[in-house]
């Protein structure tokens, strides 16, 4: 394989006496969808926030293009090409798709002595980028709040890709979606991967992960339980690792097989 787009080695994150991450390693290659799986409280959110520059690691190293990097803020990570789409999507429902797509990065044109937003360019790019992701908008002025959950996810993903993401972190993108919307989002992830962008897909849903994942890393209580390639592990084994199969077996034994 080629050199990883990003590699995190032995990442630890401490919040006072609480150890949220205890030596987690993960790499992401161009065009790869690397699924980070784990139950609630496993450390997934802390890990991706460390990758995205929100948290500084207490210990460990982050490499991009073979060079060690240090992120002092989320902006540093964004400028390095790491984009994160969180569950809340950071969108304003009553604003148009175009306004949400360009938020804070609006193209400008000169009118007399002032610069104003170039709506022709903004609308054209928005419509085209959404079309590339399989979404045909009625009009760019359509309010984001009128879109389905899957379509809003696609707006956020298309925005990150357009503005130069090399690594795209998706935080539980299918958690609140129905079957059809989930299928659309997974298809969008596949399109992104084919552009050579590395995708980190955070989920606790093994079926969704298996649909698009190339590699699978399981977290449990801030530690990596292992990484497997597609075809090397069955969904049932992944699910058991996530849920703490050994702990459940011990509990079942102590309760006389009633679990």
- What's the CATH class of domain 6-94+165-254? alpha beta
The helix (run of H) or strand (run of E) holding residue 4 is: none
Tens of each residue's pLDDT in the chain, 259 residues: 589 999 999 999 999 999 999 999 999 999 999 999 988 888 899 999 999 999 999 999 999 988 999 999 999 999 999 999 987 777 899 999 999 999 989 999 888 889 998 999 999 999 999 999 988 888 989 999 999 888 999 999 999 999 999 999 999 998 888 888 999 999 999 999 999 999 999 988 898 999 999 999 999 888 988 888 988 888 888 888 877 655 544 545 566 555 4
* 0.85 exceeded by pTM: yes
Q: Rounded to 10 degrees, what is the CA torsion of 19, 25, 28, 32?
A: -90
For tokens 């990484």, name the residue. 227
Q: Round to whole Å and give the CA distance between 50 and 230.
A: 26
């Amino acid at each position: 394989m080629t050199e990883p787009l990003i590699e995190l080695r032995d990442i630890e994150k401490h919040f006072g006496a609480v150890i949220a991450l205890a030596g987690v390693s993960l790499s992401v290659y161009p065009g790869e969808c690397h699924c980070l799986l784990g139950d609630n409280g496993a450390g997934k959110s802390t890990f991706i926030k460390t990758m995205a520059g929100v948290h500084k690691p207490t210990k460990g190293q982050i490499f991009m293009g073979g060079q060690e990097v240090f992120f002092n803020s989320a902006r540093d990570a964004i400028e390095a090409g790491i984009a994160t789409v969180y569950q809340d999507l950071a969108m304003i429902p009553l604003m148009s798709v175009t306004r949400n797509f360009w938020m804070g990065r609006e193209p400008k044109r000169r009118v007399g002595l002032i610069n104003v937003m170039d709506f022709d360019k903004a609308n054209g790019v928005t419509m085209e980028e959404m079309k590339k992701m399989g979404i045909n908008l009625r009009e760019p002025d359509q309010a984001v709040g009128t879109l389905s959950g899957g379509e809003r996810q696609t707006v956020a993903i298309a925005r990150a890709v357009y503005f130069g993401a090399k690594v795209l972190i998706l935080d539980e993108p299918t958690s609140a979606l129905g079957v059809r919307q989930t299928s659309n989002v997974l298809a969008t992830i596949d399109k992104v991967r084919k552009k050579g962008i590395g995708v980190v897909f955070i989920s606790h849903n093994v079926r969704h992960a298996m649909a698009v994942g190339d590699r699978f890393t399981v977290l449990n209580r801030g530690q990596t339980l292992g990484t497997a390639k597609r075809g090397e592990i069955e969904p049932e084994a992944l699910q058991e690792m996530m849920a703490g199969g050994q702990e459940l077996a011990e509990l079942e034994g102590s309760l006389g097989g009633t679990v």
